[in-house]
Structure 1
Amino acid sequence: MTSLLPPVPVALARPIPTLPVAAPGRQLAYEPKFDGHRLLIFRLVDEVQMQARSGRIVTRVFPDLVAAARRLPVGTVLDGEVVVWVGGRTDFAAVQKRATAATEARAARLARELPASYAAFDLLASGTDDLRPRPYEQRRALLTTLLEPLGPPLQAVPMTMDPELAATWYEAFPAIGVEGLVIKSPDQPYRAGRHWRKLRHSETRDALVVGVVGPRLRPRALALVLPGDDTPVVSGPLSPAVRAQLTTALRDLPPPVVADSDPPTAIDTVGAWIAYQPIAPELTVEVRQESTVRHAATAVIRLRTPE
């Protein structure tokens, strides 16, 4: 019998303003931070299951990764990020298009058109052993030993304990679409909650538009999916400039394909439910998250257009 079954609460990272360096006699582990789709992979006795950050089972949307995960030993549980590479860069819009495939036929087609890679950064279980209480350094060694013989699309993220190399990565990786670092302590167990740290280059990031609040062609706000998550959030009120940008783009969208397993089209925002109209997941916007007294507000900066 496997030691872990979904849903499993995931570890998260809190933002920090500068690159930390370990105290004398200690070390820190630095990993590239991919803005993709957070995914736990469970290799069970007779099947593979995949869990999103929210706890939802999303196995059907990544058939290519399911096929790859069948090579894992029974009882393996991985934590990582799904990314899609386009033109030598990670493409957030592409991976979110994969993650929101509403039918098995569409998921299969997108798997051929936009093949996924899995950047694994933790090993939570092996066989019947729950590895979460073990130090990160041990879990990391077991992870690399497990995945090195398999190769793509299941790969361990790079990791270094050299702060100078980490600083070089931080400056160089944006060229391939990697916008920051995640920092962990080698002796840390795996725990749900924000016990890791993350350093990003930019205060802004991309989000996928999955719905509109208000009139379809002149929305007041947007329902968005942010990197690493699958639970929609409602943006703040849109500026006139952004609303003007969206009008033409929304008019040209095909109707959405909605599956029975899709999340409800209403979002709980500090105790109040806000309904939205689903749209086809084809638009990406640049957003900034701003902390307020009560919660984090997501401000839409502009509509992303193809370069």
Structure 2
Amino acid sequence: MTVALAVAVRTLPRAPGLAYEPKFDGHRLVIIRTDRAVDGVVLQARSGRIVTAAFPDLAAAAHHLPAGTVLDGEVVVWHAGRTDFALVQRRAAAASAARAAVLAQTLPASYAAFDVLELAGLDLRARPYERRRALLVDLLLPLGPPLQPVPMTTDPELAETWYETLPASGIEGLVVKRMDQPYPAGRRGWQKLRHTNVRDAAVVGYTGTARRPLALVLVLPVGDETPLVSSPLTAPLRAEVAAAVAARDPEAAGGAPRTSRGATITAIGLGEVPFHPLDPPLTAEVRHTSTRHPPPEVLRLRTDL
């Protein structure tokens, strides 16, 4: 299922016919409820990867949806009153069914649904957002958590209040949609207003090996363009970076020896470390509070760019 995307804006759009939703800090997830009696739920990540086994709690909840239903939304994990992106990554990285079951008990997931693409076998993507939103609320409110519709308002003043106050709960910004808009699958048809500590950065290299990259060497779009070493990659990101490197250089991914051609960089707490340059660079979405301290946290590769 190809999902809709959003283009970044710097100020809050204000116009008649706009809807505003909080942007949750989690993993994009499509829930597909098929007509199978057994194993009738598929959970798909934004990349298209099937992640059903990592979220057995959400899969179980999705069995209560009507067959032929497809939802678009964000999976989040709440901790200490706020969403915690690192905990979502732990859930996604579950290496076995047993581990996933344990994590579902200790770190239960919630699903913040913001669109319904199909309902009871009827494709709704051509319907206006206003109609899809009404159907989504009618569908999910009787079911209750962990499947919940995201809040929505058409009041820009309330939306601005959300933007200013909700980051304390882990909300990273707003998504803005037109009420009369069909679902823009595969296109940047929505707008997103994010807090400024989340940016796209150029990935000019990686530390570790091609099979097991440990961190990324980044050039941020602010500051003096001096490369920085990211914080350590999570297991899912290591796998994603390794796959991206393998697609560029199958020989390196196969274990052939590689040198850094003398390339080194200073990593916080580690000193000078060798790294493997990437030319042309990749792009990653990163979170950082300043240019150097603490090191940037890699949220995901921007494979869509």
Work out whether the TM-score is over 0.5.
yes
User: What is the deviation of 1:266?
Assistant: 3.2
1:56 maps onto 2:49 in alignment = yes
1:266 maps onto 2:243 in alignment = yes
1:29 maps onto 2:19 in alignment = yes
Q: Secondary structure at the match of 1:84?
A: strand
Change (3 A) 1:204 1:98: same
1:64-93 per-residue CA deviation (whole Å, 9 max, x = no partner) reads: 001111111111100000000000000000
User: What is the deviation of 1:296?
Assistant: 4.3
User: What is the deviation of 1:57?
Assistant: 1.0
Match of 1:195 among 189, 196, 206: 189
Say whether the 8 Å CA contact 2:41–2:62 is kept in structure 1: yes
The corresponding residue for 2:32 is 42
The corresponding residue for 1:140 is 133
TM-score norm. by structure 1 comes to: 0.72
Q: Secondary structure at the match of 2:30?
A: strand
CA distance in 2, matches of 1:264, 1:296: 11
The corresponding residue for 1:77 is 70
Q: Secondary structure at the match of 2:171?
A: coil
User: What is the deviation of 1:48?
Assistant: 0.5
TM-score norm. by structure 2 comes to: 0.72
CA distance in 2, matches of 1:97, 1:182: 25
1:171 maps onto 2:161 in alignment = no
1:140-192 per-residue CA deviation (whole Å, 9 max, x = no partner) reads: 00000000000000000000000111111111101101020000000111122
Aligned residues: 253
The corresponding residue for 2:215 is 222
User: What is the deviation of 1:98?
Assistant: 0.5
Q: Secondary structure at the match of 1:112?
A: helix
Change (3 A) 1:55 1:239: same
Change (3 A) 1:117 1:160: same
The corresponding residue for 2:260 is none
Q: Secondary structure at the match of 2:143?
A: coil
1:73-130 per-residue CA deviation (whole Å, 9 max, x = no partner) reads: 1111000000000000000000011112121111111111100000000000011210
Structure 2, unmatched stretches of 5+, are 255-267, 269-279, 298-305
Say whether the 8 Å CA contact 2:219–2:226 is kept in structure 1: no
For 1:204, the aligned partner's letter is: V
Match of 2:105 among 104, 112, 122: 112
Q: Secondary structure at the match of 1:196?
A: strand
For 1:33, the aligned partner's letter is: K
User: What is the deviation of 1:263?
Assistant: 5.4
Match of 2:152 among 145, 159, 173: 159
CA distance in 1, matches of 2:208, 2:153: 49
Say whether the 8 Å CA contact 1:236–1:297 is kept in structure 2: no
For 2:125, the aligned partner's letter is: R
CA distance in 1, matches of 2:197, 2:253: 26
